[in-house]
Structure 1
Amino acid sequence: MASSLIDSELFKDQYSTKEMRAVFSERAQIQSWLDCWVALAKAEAKNGVIPENVAKEIAEKAHAEDIDMDYVREGFKKTSHPLMPQIRAFIQLCSPEACGYIHWGATTQDITDTGTILQLRNAQDILEKQMEIY
């Protein structure tokens, strides 16, 4: 049974589109957080806070499709923390040197809020394209 109209097989296309649902999917949310960590690592490397090779590795490994979503879901059940399971899953993809710099100097709110804004920006792009039709 659907928990909302957007999840409903009967009504979902009345209130959203496949493209918009993809923007706000769990996988897209995970990718938005990864994108934040990449941007953070690049900025920190540019300013000499972390090594350049670490920022490069973080960027190369930051693909949501490589994140074990079952691991993240189980971790969330145990911790109720929005990012710790994600960080732990991402660490598994990185070298010991790089994993110590994931989330370096950021707060949970820095990443979750910025990730949400990235998703909203993508949603805005979709809405602007739809408005051009009319």
Structure 2
Amino acid sequence: MNKKLLTIFLSLFLVGILSISCSNEDKTAPKGIEQYNGNSYVSVESYTVPQGTGYLWVSVKDSKVRMNASSDQTSEPSYQGYMDVTGSGTDYSFSTDYYGQPNGIEGTLKFAPDGSTVTVNYSKNLEMPSIEGQDIVCNKR
């Protein structure tokens, strides 16, 4: 009888541990870029663009990202297509063609844990090579 009772308690204990482990999976699994869907960000500082001085805008929509420049921090530019990103949590990489040049623009996005900022760093930018290697901090709008 003791052996049966011990087996029952051990089985219940294991079932309880497994159910707790499975129920926490959703909360601890890293989330993708979709957690930032609908957010727009604008750079804190201006930088030199081919047309003069501008601010970098970043938009996340449908789990994709688009970046564009605007002359100010209040007028969000029109976006003409979004690019895929890879990564999870707060760290992502992007790469896109630039006028027929494969991977002509590429870099990283690092979101603050609360989503209030994103830091963009271009490792390659054929359109504006002067901003390569700079951390461009953008605040959520």
Q: Same-fold call, TM > 0.5?
A: no
Using structure 2 for the length normalisation, give the TM-score. Answer: 0.27
Larger C-alpha radius of gyration, 1 or 2?
2
Using structure 1 for the length normalisation, give the TM-score. Answer: 0.28
Structure with the higher helix share, 1 or 2 = 1
